[in-house]
Amino acid sequence: MTVAGIDARTGERSAVSCAETTANDVASRCEAAAQAAAGWARTGRAERARLLADAATALEGRAAEIVATADAETALGEPRLTGELARTCFQLRFFAEVVCEGSYLELTIDHADISPMGPRPDLRRMLVPVGPVAVFGASNFPLAFSVPGGDTVSALAAGCPVVVKAHEAHPATSALCHDIMRGVLPDGVISMVMGREAGIALVRDPHIRAVGFTGSVGGGRALADLAASRPEPIPFYGELGSVNAFAVTPAAAAARSGEIGRGLAESFTLGAGQFCTKPGLAFVPAGAHGDALRDALLGTVEGRAFTLLTDKIREAYTDATHQAAEQAADAAADPAADPAVGQGAGRPAGRTVAATVVEVEAAGLTPELLEEVFGPYLVLARYDSAAQLRAAVGMLPGALTATVHAEADDEIGAELARTLTARVGRLVWNGYPTGVSVGWAQHHGGPWPGTDTVFTSVGATAVRRFLRPVAWQSVPSGVLPEELRDEYDGAPRRVDGVLQLPNS
Amino acid sequence: MTVAGIDARTGERSAVSCAETTANDVASRCEAAAQAAAGWARTGRAERARLLADAATALEGRAAEIVATADAETALGEPRLTGELARTCFQLRFFAEVVCEGSYLELTIDHADISPMGPRPDLRRMLVPVGPVAVFGASNFPLAFSVPGGDTVSALAAGCPVVVKAHEAHPATSALCHDIMRGVLPDGVISMVMGREAGIALVRDPHIRAVGFTGSVGGGRALADLAASRPEPIPFYGELGSVNAFAVTPAAAAARSGEIGRGLAESFTLGAGQFCTKPGLAFVPAGAHGDALRDALLGTVEGRAFTLLTDKIREAYTDATHQAAEQAADAAADPAADPAVGQGAGRPAGRTVAATVVEVEAAGLTPELLEEVFGPYLVLARYDSAAQLRAAVGMLPGALTATVHAEADDEIGAELARTLTARVGRLVWNGYPTGVSVGWAQHHGGPWPGTDTVFTSVGATAVRRFLRPVAWQSVPSGVLPEELRDEYDGAPRRVDGVLQLPNS
């Protein structure tokens, strides 16, 4: 069996095809990762950071080749993929900075003392790497959420070797990035497997200590179950599905209908609508301002064609958009009315599709219309009143993001912000949820099905997933890790309850 | 069905008996917790801290009654239970301090900026409570790991209402503590259920957002599976089984055989050997110094009687100690030799037992001998050489703690410390693992089966289990939480990548 590279535009097999990894080879790569784990964990933070930065430089050195390979496999286009490579390299250097800064170690020292409970021993705590990590590449980001992507980089930064399961949508891109990364990192610190069965074997392998996953709810949940059912269960960090509500208050629609309509159109079709942060459900007021917003939205996407990543995504998109349109038509109060489909009713050949906007009344939202559909698809829910909006927002499932468009002193907007914050990982105000900047304050997660954990997969704290605490009790200085000796000054530490910054 | 309070010493039913909670009552308590969640989360940190301290004062005000009730149910004795109540109240006040200090919020602000990736929006991140938490009380700590215990307090401190499933081993103690806590906290913020079926219903209840559990591997794993199989899976934080290796180097045995033997004897029998940190497996050198250590150990426990917490624990103890003794006898090189049982070969009536020490060669350790047995039971593994010790340590499962006794410049001890750190959550040097102090640097966790997560259940960072991150993007100051407004100065914050301490 091979995983063939498919040209996304022509459907032809590319010259590169990559064999599915056998069970024996999965086992030997995990074994190699386990062999490399102690050495990589012991590698100083400065040296680990230097190697991450070197990996960025090495990827940049072959940018043209990477972008061309990824474009052939994904049809995402050169500008987007050039940007995605820049993001990927920025992320490698950002995690190098996070590692050097050292707060992530959570260094804590309680000197021996007399407490209200009696004598207390000297106790020192820091986080240490969990060991080899399995990373599942995503279909929709062949670079930033795949072989050299966020899960890989945060695990490497934490001090863990990584075995990546490459996504079938871009095997050649994955193989190329893997070769480049492997050329920079020590033996066994990064390796790759291909194929569905290999992914299952990877999650089951006893050397693997944690799993990072970006993908569908169904696939993620199946792998999470596998991780939980091992003789020694391991944490599964899944970034799964998200419908990303987008709510426009009456005041905002009155003030900025055209601008919001055009902005929303660009956001839900960005990357052919295949972002996990795509706004998939917009609440827009009934009436003239809302109509103007809708018209600006439809006018922006009209006539545009989008190429989806895989045949499977295209089939799911076509099926879901037809079902949703039928449902919306059935639910329409006036059966003679327009079935409320904006675009995309046809079933075009290949992977190229038009955008689809399904317009419904907010009161008529069904659970089916609250499910994520990959591709340029948007449910436009029109609300009559703040009460109706409130009721509809109350039935939303957990999500990665929610967006509020409101005006100054807009009470409905402030209330929406409070309500939506309880259901999401990131609240966007007068902006668009697509575009997840890499930084210290980012959070990319959220209640199920956004993620199944209390962690992020983007931003500085993504490293926490691949670390575990250890406490040393009464251990002499010479046996302690360097960072926990009294004289160390290379990172913030909490000493006897007081947070202290390094002097340098 | 009722859960009757049983007098641990006489086996008689106590006057107090508590009805098992019906499915309807479980649902209504979870509903009440959900109703209380937003208000409790919004309650300022200073006020939450004050209420935690008030709960401590209220418990102290009824100390005599609590200790007497718990002693009747557990036979743990007044001194131990008085100490446990002091620990519980200290812990309530410690978490009040953690809440006020505010580092746990992980406040992070990235102002809008131009990054190498282009313009970046203003992004602000903090942790927020996950919502209602289910806490499973432990059999072995009727106070410190039960209704008013560490899981409850860390969830309350984080801003989450708690529904406790009381342990059947001490229903009257649980009911009393629950009444006292409920008298202090707002309505719905703490409630309690009783009975096995009620516990299952609790984990399944859709309002519950996380579970904290202290107990057996079997019971914990079954509940973890339930939590993972919900339509919306929730995190399960289990503190499960641990054999807690205790290794004595040849140099340490030569220098301190009597002291270590006596100290180990006190540690493995503390609380009738029913601590999760009980040293269950000691590596001691063959030869005269090791013999002296063993003799000091046996001499210390000889003739002592220990009352176990429940009939179930007593039965498991009797079965396990007999099986282990038989196995050790079968494995003995010389079949005519003493079957290596120190104490406890009889099957005493009631819950009172003698201590059991099973002596084996380190090379003859079997997986069965590496399993945790509750009660005053210790496997004493004698090693001939550093190589044999290294091989035996290499087969240890994950655990909460490991202990090394070594001398200055003791190379074997330093190597053991490094090796054992990879398998445990806390490494103890020249001390004893029982006694888990509550503080900033504590870690009570460790690789499976110590825990199933990368978190602690004791110490300041226990709150992290019941929090999730939220990021606010471009949100105006008036709509932001107070802690994320520019002018806030009540806790450490990371601003534009730089960690800053409050000025006060």
Mean pLDDT per block of 10 residues along chain B (504 residues) reads 68 71 97 98 97 98 98 94 97 98 98 88 98 97 97 98 96 97 98 97 98 95 96 96 97 98 98 96 98 98 94 92 81 48 50 94 92 95 96 95 97 96 97 95 96 94 98 97 97 98 84
Please check whether residues A42 and A190 belong to one and the same domain.
yes
Taking alpha carbons only, the member of B404, B398, B497 closest to residue B454 is B398
How close, in Å, is residue B427 to chain A by CA atoms?
5
Residue B399 in any domain: the answer is: yes
Cβ separation of B90 and A117 shorter than 8 Å?
yes
Only one residue has tokens 């801290």, namely: B49
pLDDT at B15: 56
* B342 CB-near residues (< 8 Å, 6+ apart): B297, B298, B301, B355, B356, B357, B358, B359, B380
Supply A21's token pair.
């990894």
Nearest to B442 among A123, A232, A427 (CB): A123
Does residue A502 belong to the interface with chain B, where contact is any CB pair within 8 Å? no
Please check whether residues B166 and B210 belong to one and the same domain.
yes
Nearest CA in chain A to B474: A429
CB contact at 8 A, A493 and A108? yes
Catalytic machinery residues of B:
239, 276
Please check whether residues B61 and B162 belong to one and the same domain.
yes
A 116-155: CB under 8 A from B = 116-117, 120-121, 123-125, 128, 130
Query: CATH no. for residue A422?
Result: 3.40.309.10
- CA A456, CA B469: separation in Å to the nearest integer? 8
Does residue B222 belong to the interface with chain A, where contact is any CB pair within 8 Å? no
Please check whether residues B141 and B252 belong to one and the same domain.
no
Q: What are the chain A neighbours of B453 within 8 Å (beta carbons)?
A: 235
How many domains is chain B built from?
A: 2
How close, in Å, is residue B126 to chain A by CA atoms?
8
At A379, is the secondary structure helix, strand, or coil?
Answer: strand
Q: What are phi and psi of B234, to 5 degrees?
A: -130, 155
Please check whether residues B211 and B341 belong to one and the same domain.
no
Neighbouring C-alpha atoms within 13 Å toward the C-beta of A479: 29
Does residue B288 belong to the interface with chain A, where contact is any CB pair within 8 Å? no
Taking alpha carbons only, the member of B166, B142, B4, B164 closest to residue B74 is B142
How close, in Å, is residue B437 to chain A by CA atoms?
7
Nearest CA in chain A to B449: A232
Q: What are the chain B neighbours of A408 within 8 Å (beta carbons)?
A: 476
Q: What sign does the CA torsion over B6, B11, B13, B19 have?
A: positive
Strands B281-285 and A107-110 turn out to be: unpaired
Q: pTM for this structure? A: 0.95
At A158, is the secondary structure helix, strand, or coil?
Answer: helix
A 83-112: CB under 8 A from B = 83, 86-87, 90, 97, 101, 103, 106, 108-110
- CA B259 to chain centroid: 28
Cβ separation of B474 and A425 shorter than 8 Å?
no
- CA A251, CA A259: separation in Å to the nearest integer? 14
CB contact at 8 A, A469 and A127? yes
- Site from A97, A98, A120, A468 to mutate, B interface, most B CB atoms within 10 angstroms: A468
Q: What stretches of A22-161 adopt beta strand conformation (E)?
A: 107-110, 113-115, 118-120, 123-129, 133-136
- CA B305, CA B301: separation in Å to the nearest integer? 9
Taking alpha carbons only, the member of A219, A227, A218 closest to residue A133 is A227
Q: What are the chain B neighbours of A471 within 8 Å (beta carbons)?
A: 425-427, 441-443
Does residue B395 belong to the interface with chain A, where contact is any CB pair within 8 Å? no
Residue A397 in any domain: the answer is: yes
Nearest to B443 among A115, A125, A475 (CB): A125
How close, in Å, is residue B472 to chain A by CA atoms?
5
Beta bridge partners of A124: A109, A472
Residue A82 in any domain: the answer is: yes
Query: CATH no. for residue B56?
Result: 3.40.605.10
- CA B276, CA B215: separation in Å to the nearest integer? 9
Does residue B164 belong to the interface with chain A, where contact is any CB pair within 8 Å? no
Supply A59's token pair.
């990827």
Please check whether residues B221 and B334 belong to one and the same domain.
no
At A496, is the secondary structure helix, strand, or coil?
Answer: coil
Which tens digit of pLDDT belongs to each residue from B126-177? 999 999 999 999 999 999 999 999 999 999 999 999 999 999 999 999 999 9
Beta bridge partners of B246: B282, B403
Does residue B232 belong to the interface with chain A, where contact is any CB pair within 8 Å? yes
Please check whether residues A75 and A144 belong to one and the same domain.
yes
- Site from B117, B237, B409, B415 to mutate, A interface, most A CB atoms within 10 angstroms: B117
Phi-psi region of A310 (alpha: psi -120 to 50; beta: other; left: phi over 0): beta
Residue A340 in any domain: the answer is: yes
Nearest to A429 among B225, B421, B479 (CB): B479
Supply A80's token pair.
């987007």
Taking alpha carbons only, the member of A239, A184, A190, A186 closest to residue A211 is A239
Nearest CA in chain B to A456: B469
Which tens digit of pLDDT belongs to each residue from B375-433? 999 999 999 999 999 999 999 999 999 999 999 999 999 999 999 999 999 999 999 99
Taking alpha carbons only, the member of B217, B132, B219 closest to residue B167 is B219
Residue B228 in any domain: the answer is: yes
Q: What are the chain A neighbours of B468 within 8 Å (beta carbons)?
A: 425, 445-447, 454
Residue A489 in any domain: the answer is: no
Nearest to A121 among B86, B232, B437 (CB): B437
Please check whether residues A210 and A260 belong to one and the same domain.
no
Residue B121 in any domain: the answer is: yes
B 22-81: CB under 8 A from A = 38
Contacts of B496-499 with C-beta under 8 Å, sequence gap 24+, read: B496/A440, B496/B109, B496/B110, B496/B111, B496/B113, B497/A97, B497/A101, B497/A439, B497/A440, B497/B110, B499/A103, B499/A492, B499/A501
Burial B183-216 (b: 16+ CB within 10 A, else e): ebbeebbbbbbbbeebbbbbbbbebbbbbbbbbb
Across the A/B interface, how many CB contacts are shorter than 8 Å?
224
- Give this complex's ipTM: 0.95
How close, in Å, is residue A136 to chain B by CA atoms?
20
- CA B456, CA B462: separation in Å to the nearest integer? 5
B 313-372: CB under 8 A from A = none
Would you list the DSSP string of A410-472? Answer: -HHHHHHHHHHHTTEEEEEESS-S-----STT-----TTTTBSSS--SSSGGGGGGGEEEEEE
Cβ separation of B425 and A474 shorter than 8 Å?
no
Nearest CA in chain A to B116: A90
How close, in Å, is residue A214 to chain B by CA atoms?
17
Q: Where are the alpha helices (DSSP H) in A431-500?
A: none
Q: What are the chain B neighbours of A479 within 8 Å (beta carbons)?
A: 413-414, 417, 429
Does residue B410 belong to the interface with chain A, where contact is any CB pair within 8 Å? no
Phi-psi region of B366 (alpha: psi -120 to 50; beta: other; left: phi over 0): beta
Please check whether residues A183 and A311 belong to one and the same domain.
no
Q: What are the chain A neighbours of B225 within 8 Å (beta carbons)?
A: 228
Cβ separation of B472 and A445 shorter than 8 Å?
no
Please check whether residues B261 and B193 belong to one and the same domain.
no
Packing angle of the helix pair B386-393, B411-421 (nearest 10 deg)? 10
- CA B190, CA B52: separation in Å to the nearest integer? 12
Single-letter residue type at A186: P
Cβ separation of A461 and B106 shorter than 8 Å?
yes
Cβ separation of A103 and B440 shorter than 8 Å?
no
- CA B234, CA B228: separation in Å to the nearest integer? 6
Q: What are the chain B neighbours of A468 within 8 Å (beta carbons)?
A: 425, 445-447, 454
Nearest to B471 among A228, A443, A470 (CB): A443
Low-confidence ranges of chain A (pLDDT < 70): 1-5, 14-17, 331-349, 504
How close, in Å, is residue B134 to chain A by CA atoms?
16
Cβ separation of A429 and B476 shorter than 8 Å?
yes
Q: What are the chain A neighbours of B452 within 8 Å (beta carbons)?
A: 233
Q: Which residues form the domain of B201?
A: 24-240+452-467
Only one residue has tokens 């609440």, namely: A283
Please check whether residues A383 and A400 belong to one and the same domain.
yes
CB contact at 8 A, A428 and A404? yes
Nearest to B429 among A120, A459, A473 (CB): A473
Please check whether residues B392 and B284 belong to one and the same domain.
yes
Residue A434 in any domain: the answer is: no
Beta bridge partners of B404: B247, B429
Burial A146-161 (b: 16+ CB within 10 A, else e): bbbbbbbbbbbbbbbb
The residue count for chain A: 504
Cβ separation of B448 and A232 shorter than 8 Å?
yes
At A290, is the secondary structure helix, strand, or coil?
Answer: helix
Cβ separation of B428 and A474 shorter than 8 Å?
yes
* B226 CB-near residues (< 8 Å, 6+ apart): B200, B203, B204
CB contact at 8 A, A146 and A138? yes
